[in-house]
Structure 1
Amino acid sequence: MATSRGKATTKLTNDALAFLTERHLAMLTTLRSDNSPHVVAVGFTFDPKTHIARVITTGGSQKAINAHERGVAVLSQVDGARWLSLEGKSTVSTETDAVRDAELRYAQRYRTPRVNPRRVVIEVRVERVLGSSDLLDRSGGE
């Protein structure tokens, strides 16, 4: 999952994958135009097959602007001593199918989101994972 010069260096354990389906909020960090961090609480979903994390939000929100303009984001989820940070390149989609897919994923993890005709989806293509040792497999083997 995480890469260092193209080689996988970190894999999520089964416990980590379960942790990413439990109902926890996370902190989304994006960068403002002056490169200072913008950090907000969000709900998110993670697809272990594609390594894409998704956040639904209103178009024009600061997090959507930052994710689009700066192109990087980190999602950090913590519960006691367990924690994960998912880092990667971010894009923002207004495509109806992508937004609907993200809403359905969100509903599975949290609840059905309120109606929002201005909704967009921030997609983070996870390139690096940091976390508590029990959630990561650093063996390096495929």
Structure 2
Amino acid sequence: MIQIETKTFQDLSIHELYELLQLRSEVFVVEQDCVYQDIDGKDQKALHIIGKKEGKIVAYTRCFAPGFYFEEASIGRVVVKETERTYGFGHEILKVSISEIEKKYNTSVIKLSAQQYLTNFYESHGFVQIGEGYLEDGIPHIAMIKN
């Protein structure tokens, strides 16, 4: 069971910011062996969806209003700590992310850039693939949208 909170950048504590950046680095840089600029200057404009288990961040996404990242609202940096992936936390955090976008940005149209091996996961939440696959930071991705 995880507790999920939604925070703006300004609402994050220093410890939460450190933990979420550590989790993103642990998965996207170390586990996936991908050197890229995770700290991209966009966190300040994001809505941060944080999943905590026993007080520690184990799942996370960041969401953006329409027109900031894509024309549509968007979800990115979807991550679950490797040791916590068998509990369905990815599904929980994505459901809350979709709900928060609908409430805060008054839209149900959401776009994301999915790692291709996760397309079934996103399709189970109503996303459909659009366009052709592409490499992003050396990892195969596909654009997906939910209407």
Structure 1 and Structure 2 fold alike (TM over 0.5): no
Q: TM-score, normalised by structure 2?
A: 0.27
TM-score (normalised: structure 1)? 0.28
Specify which structure has the higher proportion of helix: 2
